Structure 1
Amino acid sequence: MQYPAHSAFLAPARRYPQLWRLLLGLLLCAAIYGLGIAVVFAAIVVFSGPQGIEHWATQMVEATGPTGTLLVLATFVGMAIGPMLAAVILHRRGVWSLFGPLPRTLRHFGLALLVCALVYGASFLLPTDIRIEPAMERALWLSFLPMAFLGVLLQTGAEELLFRGYLQQQLAARFRSPLWWMVLPSLLFASLHYQPEVMGDNALYIVAAAGLFGLLAADLTAKTGSIGAAWGFHFANNVVAILIVALDGPLSGLALYTAPVSAAAAEIRPLILLDMATTVVTWLIIRTAVSRA
């Protein structure tokens, strides 16, 4: 595939493409991510006292309540800040270079969001053997919704900045082969979703689905020269999975509905495969739409 817009997206990264800078940048990202988590716990101490740490730590691990889930999403603030600092300190380029041209980023974010709304809305009409049940009172859900949207926007934006912004840019500035700048970040992205203690035998299926999404998001970033389309795609996907219909278990605390099966249940494997197929169809439509926008 040809990616003319990718060259302009990479231009700021080409000034200082050395691998040692990238490795230090990733270490800085990890440190800032850890610091962000520490800041969240410090805020818990300030508002609930030292005795509240154990309670809220449990709430965050389980993430089956709305506040605990919001706190988990808040921990991604460090992941968002880390690539920005790495870009400025180690690569001597501006923060906005991680996003791509702002008007294009915003336009493609909105376009991807619209496509996802149409495709995911249609996919809900497909029959499945999994039933869903109300999880929250609608009024309570609506009261949490503004903060929930911001939390998912932060979480997905942080991951896009790190994997499709910083890492993809710096690897592509150093290596021409997509095996380096498309496949490697996608493998790293997928590996972070490996949770056999939660997902059991489904863990590798989830990793495969995350890896597929990573590849398609990398393609959209290269195609458009910004993270806007990938971010909109990611945001819409996680809004559905976290805020609309969640599996019973971790990160279900903000969902309006839940499916009363765990992520480790064998019966959700067909749904994972269906989700992967839906992801490919959605990517194709987004790719076509941004090509004409």
Structure 2
Amino acid sequence: MRPLPRLSDDQQTVLRYTRPGQWPFLARNPVLPAAETRLLADSLGCTAADVGAAHHEQRETVRRAAAEELTDAGTRRLVEHLPLGDGDRVVAVGDSVTADRLGWFEMLSAALSLAGPIPVATENLALSGSTTADAIERFDLLEAARPTRVLLMLGTNDARSHGRRTDHTMISPDETRRNLLALLDMVRADLGAEVTVLTPPAALQGRIDRFFRELPLRWRAADIAEVADTVRRVDPDALDVHAAMAGEQLGDLLESDGIHPSVAGQRVIFRTVLRGLATQPSRTARAGGGHLS
């Protein structure tokens, strides 16, 4: 294994959640991966080699986590019998929870590569900070990805509040509902793709208050829970990540900011998504051709 990158914890965190290629301008005007790496290196005051080594270690961490999950016979069976087949393209739309290079979607992609009987293309379009409104604005990028199935987890940033003496949330609950309904309609009608909706993860108020006490932004765990309720009302078949995490020892599942899932929390999300996807019909079944096995 290569030596660990010579980066601080803060630099590692930035690299974990930052995907310059998904920034709207660069997504619409792509540059070579080496240019993205140089951009990150220049921003963090390190070398391109440091960034490359960090990304390599993150990929290896995800691959090891996926391999460990697959040692469970039941998990492996779920992966092997997901309703996905040749020609499927699974695309994730979300915020930093999904953009996380140690996150659930990267783990799902690795598990499909390790155990899936048929190669399935995956693409992560998640962008840190995204709201449901941002996802609508970036719909052209989702269309360009040509998904056959979209995994949609949004809402944490809809509940984000800004200001020091004031308290203004990014998106109101009514707007979240409208935006989610619009996204579901656009994916199904315009793209002809299947869409699986996930509720946002649970949060810990004490950690949020401590971590963000000096910053003019914050979250309320109750507001995120309200967003999760909105997602459930919009789509009763949504995969309930919020409930899955709240039913565990939540302190072990979140980072120090009380918002982002830890690697252990991301594994809970991975298992929740895996179990939920396994119960859904394939494209072939919906078209009347039977379930892929």
Q: TM-score, normalised by structure 1?
A: 0.29
* Higher percent of residues as helix: 1
* Higher percent of residues as strand: 2
